[in-house]
């Protein structure tokens, strides 16, 4: 297995925080892209004459390659070098975005979105592991992870606002073009400031494990993404993908037990703190992604809001999430990390339950704003500790794959949440055919299921994550 030797250091605190700005910008770009495209899709579909199936694959192609290649991307970052992988991935993501913005038809757009996912799969784990490497002093690192978590956690909501503004003013193509200046900004900041590490001679790569993990996780994401399309659960296709995914993932697990240099070492997921963090990330993201899929339709269809105003309604969620994330280091010192985690996810659970009750009432906008704002604060108290817990105490050569596993659970959790919640909504809406447009009653049932996802995450925080080590303050070895 490779271990890393730092060959270039960031000497001053100012340079470290500039490096964090570059790393965070890169990670934020990936999160933004996933939500910006949702607002632009209606205009995109109209201009490029996309079928409903092609429209779905404009989103699914990105999710499949991103979720499927994350573990491999994390291992590449560990073995090739995190800074090198981040810089190449940034450049590649910008080029793919440019191609997508210039798309003249469905095929070109879907191919560009798939290519974006390929580079995002390498970028995301490299970014998180670089935060751990750049900041070694515990208190400074805690603040850095809080900033990183605030940016990532609020990225989806910011993307809705940005997507609405770009689509209304410059056109849908700028929902993709915008990634080019963002990537250039991150490159200019990061090239002179981000630490560079190189691997020592190590063992052979687990190529069979990489193939099994990539195809298996891609099939899993594809299964739930296809199922989320209209009539998806009635088709045999998602079930075939799901069965294939389970077989491949089972083969991957067996391979990891035998491999001398496994792609996902058992020590990464066997740790209770880290394993609990992965479970919490998956269930929390499932509820949040599903909610953000349907809430914009409620605002635009039921309340007749414009895309820009729809994004603006989500801003308080983002603001509360950012503020809460920045408060996490101080709260952890005064209380405990587990207390902050439990308090955060319980707050989010209560807020989601409140949203489920309020959404079907007349004049629900004020209640929606209050519920989503409180939810944003709760999520902020969850994401920052989770980010730091997955890399704490990890050997230097495993930081990339530990980071990648967090992104894997978030991507798969998000795909499952979107598919299940969208399917539940469709069933509920079918029961109210007299309603024209979005069905608030169906949304109520859907958001109650999202509440259940949050509640499961709360149980994990209470039962799985140990009190004394959640998240730990140790540095990577």
Give the chain's domains with CATH numbers.
7-197+204-463 (1.20.1250.20)
Instruction: Please give the Cα distance from 383 to 356 (Å, whole number).
Output: 23
Helix (H) or strand (E) holding 208: helix 207-227
Q: What pLDDT, on a 0 to 100 scale, did the predictor assign at position 457? A: 96
Instruction: Please give the Cα distance from 313 to 226 (Å, whole number).
Output: 29
Determine the angle formed by the axes of helices 337-358 and 307-334, rounding to 10 degrees.
150
Burial class (CB in 10 A: 0-12, 13-18, 19+), 14: exposed
Q: What pLDDT, on a 0 to 100 scale, did the predictor assign at position 200? A: 47
Instruction: Please give the Cα distance from 94 to 110 (Å, whole number).
Output: 15
CB 392 within 8 A of CB 473: yes
Q: Phi-psi bin for 338: left (phi > 0), alpha (psi -120 to 50), beta?
A: alpha
Q: What pLDDT, on a 0 to 100 scale, did the predictor assign at position 442? A: 85
Q: What pLDDT, on a 0 to 100 scale, did the predictor assign at position 407? A: 80
Q: What pLDDT, on a 0 to 100 scale, did the predictor assign at position 373? A: 94
Q: What pLDDT, on a 0 to 100 scale, did the predictor assign at position 199? A: 57
Helix (H, G, I), strand (E, B) or coil at 78: helix
Nearest partner of 281 among 422, 471, 120, 93, judged by Cα? 471
Report the helix count and the strand count for the chain, using DSSP H and E.
16, 2
> pTM for this one?
0.78
CA dihedral angle for residue 322, residue 327, residue 329, residue 333, rounded to 10 degrees: -160
Helix (H) or strand (E) holding 6: strand 4-8
* Main-chain dihedrals φ then ψ at residue 196, nearest 5 degrees: -115, 130
Q: What pLDDT, on a 0 to 100 scale, did the predictor assign at position 204? A: 62
Q: What pLDDT, on a 0 to 100 scale, did the predictor assign at position 348? A: 96
Q: What pLDDT, on a 0 to 100 scale, did the predictor assign at position 355? A: 94
Which residues of the chain are modeled with pLDDT < 50? 1-7, 200, 469-477
CB 306 within 8 A of CB 476: no
- Dump the DSSP string for 130-198: HHHHH--SHHHHHHHHHHHHHHHHHHHHHHHHHHHHHHHHT-TTHHHHTHHHHHHHHHHHHTTTS-EEE
Q: What pLDDT, on a 0 to 100 scale, did the predictor assign at position 218? A: 78
* Main-chain dihedrals φ then ψ at residue 8, nearest 5 degrees: -145, 125
Instruction: Please give the Cα distance from 39 to 17 (Å, whole number).
Output: 32
CA dihedral angle for residue 301, residue 305, residue 309, residue 311, rounded to 10 degrees: -10
Triad 157, 158, 163: Cα angle to 5°: 100
Instruction: Please give the Cα distance from 216 to 67 (Å, whole number).
Output: 10
CB 256 within 8 A of CB 263: yes
Q: What pLDDT, on a 0 to 100 scale, did the predictor assign at position 472? A: 45
Q: What pLDDT, on a 0 to 100 scale, did the predictor assign at position 404? A: 78
Q: What pLDDT, on a 0 to 100 scale, did the predictor assign at position 280? A: 94
Q: What pLDDT, on a 0 to 100 scale, did the predictor assign at position 349? A: 97
Q: Which residues pair with 196 in a beta bridge?
A: 8
Instruction: Please give the Cα distance from 10 to 31 (Å, whole number).
Output: 26
The answer to whether the Cα torsion of 68, 289, 309, 53 is positive or negative is positive
- Give Cα separations from 242 to 72, 137, 227, 237, 404 (angstroms): 21, 44, 10, 9, 22
Instruction: Please give the Cα distance from 340 to 386 (Å, whole number).
Output: 11
Tokens of 116: 């974006």
Q: Which residues pair with 4 in a beta bridge?
A: 199
Helix (H, G, I), strand (E, B) or coil at 273: helix
Tokens of 20: 């964090």
Tokens of 115: 């290519």
């Amino acid at each position: 297995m490779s271990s890393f030797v730092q060959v270039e250091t960031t000497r001053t605190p100012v340079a470290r925080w500039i490096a964090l700005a570059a790393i965070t910008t890169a990670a934020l770009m990936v999160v933004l892209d996933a939500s910006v495209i949702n607002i632009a899709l209606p205009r995109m579909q109209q201009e490029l004459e996309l079928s409903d199936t092609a429209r779905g694959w404009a989103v699914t192609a990105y999710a499949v390659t991103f979720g499927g290649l994350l573990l491999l991307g994390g291992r590449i970052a560990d073995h090739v070098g995190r800074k090198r992988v981040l810089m190449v991935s940034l450049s590649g993501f910008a080029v793919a975005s440019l191609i997508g913005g210039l798309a003249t038809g469905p095929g070109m757009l879907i191919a560009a979105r798939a290519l974006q996912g390929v580079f995002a799969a390498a970028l995301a784990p490299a970014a998180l592991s670089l935060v751990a490497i750049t900041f070694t002093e515990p208190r400074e690192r805690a603040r850095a992870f809080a900033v990183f978590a605030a940016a990532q956690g609020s990225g989806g909501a910011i993307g809705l606002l940005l997507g609405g503004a770009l689509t209304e003013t410059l056109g849908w193509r700028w929902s993709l073009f915008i990634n080019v200046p963002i990537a250039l900004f991150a490159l200019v900041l990061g090239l002179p400031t981000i630490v560079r590490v190189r691997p020592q001679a190590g063992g052979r790569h687990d190529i069979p494990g990489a193939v099994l993990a990539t195809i298996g996780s891609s099939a899993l994401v594809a299964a739930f993404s296809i199922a989320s399309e209209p009539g998806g659960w009635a088709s045999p296709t998602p079930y075939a993908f799901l069965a294939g995914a389970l077989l491949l993932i089972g083969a991957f697990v067996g391979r990891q037990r035998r491999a001398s240099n496994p792609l996902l070492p058992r020590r990464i997921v066997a740790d209770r703190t880290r394993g609990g963090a992965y479970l919490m990330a998956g269930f929390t993201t499932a509820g949040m992604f599903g909610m953000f899929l349907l809430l914009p339709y409620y605002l635009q269809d039921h309340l007749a809001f414009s895309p820009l105003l729809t994004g603006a309604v989500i801003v308080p969620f983002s603001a509360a999430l950012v503020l809460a994330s920045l408060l996490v280091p101080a709260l952890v010192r005064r209380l405990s990390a587990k207390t902050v985690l439990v308090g955060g996810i319980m707050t989010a659970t209560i807020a989601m339950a409140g949203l489920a009750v309020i959404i079907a009432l007349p004049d629900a906008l004020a209640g929606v704003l209050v519920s989503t704002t409180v939810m944003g604060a709760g999520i902020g108290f969850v994401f920052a500790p989770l980010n730091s817990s997955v890399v704490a105490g990890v050997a230097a050569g495993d930081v990339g794959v530990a980071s990648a596993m967090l992104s894997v659970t978030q991507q798969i959790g998000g795909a499952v949440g979107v598919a299940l919640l969208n399917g539940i909504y469709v069933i509920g809406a079918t029961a109210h055919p007299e309603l024209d447009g979005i069905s608030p009653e169906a949304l109520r049932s859907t958001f109650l299921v999202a509440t259940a996802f949050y509640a499961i995450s709360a149980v994990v925080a209470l039962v799985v994550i140990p009190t004394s080590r959640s998240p730990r303050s140790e540095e990577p070895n």
